[in-house]
Amino acid sequence: MNKEIYEKVSRWFDSHRDEMTEDIIRLVRIPSVSCPQEDDNAPFGDACRDCLEEMLALGQKHGFHTENYENRVGSIGGQDKDWDNMIGFWNHLDVVPVGNQWTYEPFEPVLKEYFLIGRGAQDNKGPAVGILYMMRCLRELNIPLKHELRLFVGCDEERGMTDLEYYTSRYPTPRLSMIADSGFPVCFGEKGIIEGSFHSETPVSGLILELEGGSASNMIPDSACVVLKYTDELEKALQAASGTQPSPGITVEVEKDTIRIHAAGKGKHSAFPEGSVNAIHGLMRFLAGLSPLPESDRKLFGRLAYLSEEYYGEHTHIEGSDELSGRTTCAATVLKLETQKVSLHFNIRYIITADREKLSAGLARAAAENDLTWTTERDSAPNYFPREHPAVQLLTDLYNEITGSHSESFVMGGGTYARKLPRAFAYGVGGMEESEEDLRIKKQLFQPGHGGAHEPDEGLNLRLLTEAMKIYAMAVIALNGVEI
pTM, entire model: 0.81
Q: Is 331 helix (H, G, I), strand (E, B) or coil?
A: strand
For residue 43, name the pLDDT band (cuts at 50, 70, 90): very high
Tell me how many degrees the CA angle 329-335-338 measures, rounded to the nearest 5.
Answer: 140
| Polymer length of the chain | 484
The model's pLDDT over 181-215, given as tens digits with 9 standing for 90+, comes to 999 999 999 999 999 999 999 999 999 999 999 98
249 bridge partner residues = none
pLDDT score recorded for residue 51: 98
The model's pLDDT over 302-311, given as tens digits with 9 standing for 90+, comes to 999 999 999 9
Distance CA 201, CA 192 (A): 28
The model's pLDDT over 376-397, given as tens digits with 9 standing for 90+, comes to 999 988 999 999 999 999 999 9
Strand pairing report for 148-154 and 86-92: parallel
pLDDT score recorded for residue 416: 94
Distance CA 19, CA 21 (A): 5
The yes-or-no verdict on residue 256 having pLDDT over 90 is: no
Inter-CA distances, 49 with 23, 60, 90, 126, 288, Å: 17, 17, 17, 18, 44
Instruction: Compute the average pLDDT of residues 437-449.
Output: 95
Distance CA 329, CA 239 (A): 37
pLDDT score recorded for residue 245: 58
For residue 243, name the pLDDT band (cuts at 50, 70, 90): low
Q: Is 325 helix (H, G, I), strand (E, B) or coil?
A: coil
Instruction: Compute the average pLDDT of residues 232-236.
Output: 92
Alpha-helical (H) ranges within 263-315 are 279-288, 295-307
For residue 401, name the pLDDT band (cuts at 50, 70, 90): very high
Q: Report yes or no: 351 and 169 within 8 Å, Cβ to Cβ.
A: no
pLDDT score recorded for residue 450: 94
The model's pLDDT over 270-309, given as tens digits with 9 standing for 90+, comes to 999 999 999 999 999 999 999 999 999 999 999 999 999 9
Q: Is 396 exposed, middle or buried (0-12, 13-18, 19+ CB in 10 A)?
A: buried
The yes-or-no verdict on residue 244 having pLDDT over 70 is: no
Closest-CA residue to 135 (of 480, 477, 481)? 477
Tell me how many degrees the CA angle 151-154-155 measures, rounded to the nearest 5.
Answer: 155
Q: What percent of the chain has pLDDT over 70?
A: 99
Q: Is 244 exposed, middle or buried (0-12, 13-18, 19+ CB in 10 A)?
A: exposed
Q: Between 295-307 and 279-288, two packed helices, what is the crossing angle to 10 degrees?
A: 150
CA atoms within a 13 Å half-sphere pointing along the CA-CB vector of 22: 4
For residue 246, name the pLDDT band (cuts at 50, 70, 90): low
Q: What domains appear along the chain, each with residue ranges and CATH number?
A: 3-191+383-481 (3.40.630.10), 193-380 (3.30.70.360)
CB atoms within 10 A of CB 482: 15
Distance CA 291, CA 273 (A): 31
